[in-house]
Structure 1
Amino acid sequence: MFVHDRYRSAPEPMSGMPPGIPYIVANEAAERYSFYGMRAILVIFMTKFLMNAQGELDLMTDEQAKTWFHGFVAAVYTFPIVGAIISDAFLGKYRTIMTLSVVYCLGHLTLAVDDTRLGLAIGLGLIAIGSGGIKPCVSAHVGDQFGRTNANLLARVFGWFYFAINVGALASILFAEPLLHRFGPSVAFGVPGILMAIATLVFWSGRYKFAHIPPDREGLKRDVFGNGAEGLRALGRLFIIYVFIAMFWALFDQQGSAWVLQASRMDRRFIIDWDPSQAQWLNPALVLLFIPLFNRVIYPVFDRFWPLTPLRKISLGLLLTVPAFLLPAWLEARLDAGESVNIAWQFGAYVLMTAAEILVSITALEFSYTQAPKRMKSLVMGAFFSSVALGNVFAAGVNFFIQNPDGTSKLDGPGYYLFFAGAMAVTAVLFIPVAMRFKERTYIQDEAVVEALP
């Protein structure tokens, strides 16, 4: 029973879907529209629209834009650790999400009203704090709605959760660059801000439907350091996995940077005229198609002959990422040779990369939650997201160091893509023996009585 002055402090015993899930999924769709709608046009904005304080163009080179882009993504995925500590030790997941969502909205507002490098830095900084800080809380909040009686639904709901992410991403990518070219940066960055405000309102509306796991600072300390430092050991085991997954993110997130810049040099007439950033819509669209395909067809077929454990799925995903970057290397060689290359060729790379994403990202998201001690759910989710930060730090670092003083690149043309494909191949091979030796231990929230939060 829900009353206005009380929150449930544990999942309600039930065999069906928890009542708060629709609010979380709807919030995630709107929030992801806001994030990807902004992110999709960042490289185009920095190389085509950026201004100085005098109102003159102050454009970045391709390498500078890629460095800023991956530096921003790295910052977004660094702050989950901070958000996790605030959530698990002080405010709880719900209050942390609400507070940082306001910061998130302010970041969008800054980008909409200031198109200089200073405005870009401040806006991206606020978005990194807000978006990054809520990440582990939202995904862990999903898991907190389940107890042992309906834990079997977790995999399905994390699939829906990822489905919502990609519905929001798909819609935003289709409209972001046309808005930028037709109405300018203020509208193109303002629309995602409005969606973030809607996301915050939707989440607030579900506050009495949620199970609110209270923050427990002392319990967190016990989980981390007690019982022979069981929590630290669990975190350490998982972080070894995350180091390997980081290389996947170093390649995956270049869909928003290197692949956009490559698309700008291609023949973009395929059925319709494509803006350079719009090819990114294929990733979320394919995710929506691949989630049911993998769950209902591919995984069951594999399970008949070779059961796909979470770590086996991740291993296959890492291996599949290699050809996803070899194809752009071949396309880059053709472009450098002066050929006219249709953008449809790049679509094949999106198919390979999205299949790898299904195997790596969705699997790692659920795996991280189930392998995290009960009071460390947000903290472990934060550690998982740090793998994205680590991968983007690597990508940003590479792009920073390959810049020559004359504006050229030390890794020009196909060599750039071959470098990352080679690094991914080495990572995938080294991961296999690590995965074979990993020992799993699953933790799920227990049911308890309804309690009031202070």
Structure 2
Amino acid sequence: MPPGIPFIVGNEAAERFSFYGMRAILMVFMTQYLLGSNGELATMSDEDAKFWMHIFVMAAYFTPVFGALLADWLLGKYRTILYLSVLYCLGHLALAVNETRLGLAVGLGLIAFGTGAIKPCVSAHVGDQFGKGNSHLLGKVFGWFYIAINLGSFLSSLLIPVLLDKYGSQVAFGVPGILMALATFLFWMGRNRFVHIPARGPEVFREAFTGEGLASLLRLTPLYLFVAVFWSLFDQSSSAWVLQAENMDRNVFGVELLSSQIQAANPFLILVMVPLFSYVVYPAIDKVFKLTPLRKVSIGMFITVTSFTVSALIEQAITAGGTPNISWQILAYVLLTAAEVMVSITCLEFSYTQSPNSMKSIVMSFYLLSVAFGNAITAFVNAVISNPDGTSKLEGALYYWFFTGLMLLAAVMFSIVASLYRGKEHIQESVSDPEAEAEGTAFNG
């Protein structure tokens, strides 16, 4: 195992704790805790809060392209991650000290740029630690990388809502900020263990828009457009599903859960499903037919359709006056998480292997634009369906059925486009001693 991997994985776990902890309470904060400039409550409507949430997530996944260019053109991945992590910490600070819309806008803006800009660099930095000799470990390491993400997410999704409920928003937003500072420190500690791929300067722009660089982007873009619809549905687990949980019986084994805590089901299930799929499900399917990366994604997208079908049925029951038990939403999470394993992890690895060696961060950022586009779809739909009186043109289950149909259409179209895809794999020839790397010498001491 490359020596830098533990530092990257530890950094990712702490950083994801900070991000998902903050995100777990965002809907509840905006609809129940937000203050006006006079210090009085000035909360948002459900539709406004969903719009803000998805605009924030869209921004967080749009900015990766800037981070990728900064890394590949000027700073290299290590410096880009380190410097922008500091900006990220300042965003958490803004949320913790200012509970108004101003603090919300400044904090979310800084966090969106910080987390977004480092995101493609971290994923590509993982891949950079591998060469031809150990590239067979890449898929499993990306799996463990994803486990680190979800371990941090699981713990924070349980803890931070409790802190908000018991101690208020300043403490609840402050703790994720502390974890982000820890993540930055862990990453700095690994500076002499990493393989450092130097920035390529202006050459990166020529490579991105000519030859194999341009060809790889053109091949991948149609796939990413349909994957965006998956993210449009998936990220509603932190918005629409939280609001739905408010109207459900959240008693689990005698414990009343907070609506924002239900999100912890996703990272917990990831921790179970990643090894289950890697060692049981995928080998079993491979015995029936060859399970290529794009086939994994196709299957995952169809599974997503079933998860939102469950959500639509839950909403129908609520509209009819019932109070369904939260176990039904857990079922939707099981299906959605299975889809995530097949779509998200696969796309991370696939994007890395399909990009030229000098363009790993840029191609990763283009993949992450699919998440931004997916959240833009959700934000746009919520803006269009919102009536002036706060009601919605897609009331109740109609909202969920709309997205279910959209996902079904995207899954069918993706399967067709994927069957026509002809790619080219790019893996580094070798990995040299980290301390012998030219860029790495700048970080000794």
Q: Same fold by TM-score, threshold 0.5 exceeded?
A: yes
- What does residue 285 of structure 2 align with? 302
Q: Distance in 1 between matches of 2:13 and 2:209?
A: 36
How large is the Cα RMSD of the aligned pairs? 1.0
* CA displacement at 1:264 relative to structure 2: 0.4
Using the size of structure 2 for normalisation, the TM-score is: 0.97
1:366 aligns to 2:349 (yes or no): yes
Deviation (angstroms), 1:218: 4.2
Correspondence 1:216-365 to 2 at 5 A:
216-226=200-210, 229-271=211-253, 272-365=255-348
Distance 2:437 2:82 in 1: 21
Q: Which runs of 5+ in 1 are unaligned?
A: 1-16
The alpha-carbon deviation at position 284 of structure 1 amounts to 0.4
TM-fit CA distance, 1:222: 4.5
* Aligned 8 A contact 1:219 1:375 in 2: no
Q: Deviations over 1:243-291 (max 9, x none)?
A: 0000000000000000000000111112111100111111000000001
Whole-Å Cα distance in 1 between the matches of residues 139 and 319 of structure 2? Answer: 45
Q: What TM-score comes out, normalization by structure 1 length?
A: 0.95
Q: Report Cα offsets for 1:193-235 as digits up to 9, x if no partner.
A: 0000000000000000000000002442443244xx2211101
Q: Which residue matches 2:115?
A: 131
Q: CA deviation at 1:240?
A: 1.1
| 1:403/1:221 CA distance change after superposition, 3 Å | closer
Mapped to 2, the partners of 1:133 and 1:264 lie a distance apart of: 33
1:180 aligns with 2:146: no
Q: Extract structure 1 runs of 4+ deviating beyond 4 A.
A: none
Corresponding letter in the other structure for 1:269:
N
- Which secondary structure state, in structure 1, belongs to the residue aligned with residue 244 of structure 2? helix
**1:91-130 equivalence runs, <5 A:** 91-130=75-114
Q: Which residue of 2 aligns with 1:378?
A: 361
Give, in angstroms, the shift of residue 340 of structure 1.
Answer: 2.0
Contact 1:244-1:428 within 8 A present in 2 as well: yes
| C-alpha distance in 2 between matches for 1:343 and 1:131 | 31
1:20-62 CA deviation, whole Å, 9 max, x = no partner?
0000000000000000000000000000000011110001010
Shift of 1:317: 0.5
C-alpha contact 1:325 1:420 (8 A) present in aligned 2: yes
Give the secondary structure class of the aligned counterpart of 1:149. helix
Return the alpha-carbon distance in structure 2 between the equivalents of residues 371 and 50 of structure 1: 44
| Inter-partner Cα distance in structure 1 for 2:437 and 2:375 | 42
2:57 — aligned with what?
73
What is the distance in 1 between the residues matched to 2:106 and 2:205? 34
CA change 1:448–1:404 in 2 (3 A) is closer
The answer to whether residue 395 in structure 2 is matched with residue 409 in structure 1 is no
Is the 1:223–1:373 contact (alpha carbons within 8 Å) kept by the matching residues of 2? Answer: no
Which one is further off, 232-241 or 256-265?
232-241
Residues in 2 aligned to 1:347 and 1:179: alpha-carbon distance in whole angstroms: 23
Aligned residue number for residue 74 of structure 2: 90
Letter in 2 for 1:297: V
Which whole-Å CA distance do the structure 2 matches of 1:409 and 1:104 have between them?
Answer: 34
Q: Does 1:192 align with 2:169?
A: no
Aligned-partner Cα distance in 2 for 1:361–1:29: 17
SS of residue in 2 equivalent to 1:441: coil
**Structure 2 unaligned residues grouped into runs of 5+:** none
Q: CA deviation at 1:445?
A: 1.7
- For 2:20 and 2:390, the matched residues in 1 are separated by 29
Mapped partners of 2:109, 2:350: distance in 1: 30
Query: Paired residue for 1:9?
Result: none
- In the TM superposition, what whole-angstrom CA distance separates every residue of 1:416-450 from its partner, at most 9, and x where no partner exists? 00000000001101111110110121111232653
Asked whether the equivalents of residues 315 and 428 of structure 1 are also in contact (C-alpha less than 8 Å), the reply is yes
**Deviation readout 1:88-113 (Å, 9 max, x if unpaired):** 00000000000100000000000000
Residue 398 (structure 1) aligned to one of 364, 381, 406: 381
The Cα of 1:236 is off from its aligned counterpart by 1.2
The amino acid that maps onto 2:336 is: M
Amino acid at match of 2:321: G
For 1:413 and 1:115, the matched residues in 2 are separated by: 31
| Residue 13 of structure 2: aligned partner | 29
**Counterpart secondary structure, 1:307:** coil
CA distance in 1, matches of 2:40, 2:208: 53
Query: Partner letter of residue 245 of structure 1?
Result: V
**Residue 160 of structure 1 pairs with residue 144 of structure 2:** yes
**CA displacement at 1:452 relative to structure 2:** 2.6
Counterpart CA distance in 2 for 1:49 and 1:180 is 9
Structure 1 distance, partners of 2:381, 2:374, is: 11
Contact map agreement 2:266 2:337 (CA 8 A) in 1: yes
The separation in 1 between residues aligned to 2:310 and 2:23, in whole angstroms, is 24
| Aligned residues of 2:130 and 2:431 also touching (Cα < 8 A) | no
Task: Give the Cα separation in 1 of the matches to 2:172 and 2:109.
Answer: 18
**Residue 452, structure 1, aligned to residue 432, structure 2:** no
2:190 corresponds to 1:206? yes
Confirm or deny that 1:56 pairs with 2:40. yes
In the alignment, the residues of structure 1 paired with residue 98 and residue 6 of structure 2 have an alpha-carbon distance, to the nearest angstrom, of 35
The aligned length equals 436
- What is the letter of the counterpart of residue 30 of structure 1? A
Question: Does the aligned pair in 2 maintain the 1:252–1:353 contact within 8 Å?
Answer: yes
Matched, 1:171 2:155: yes
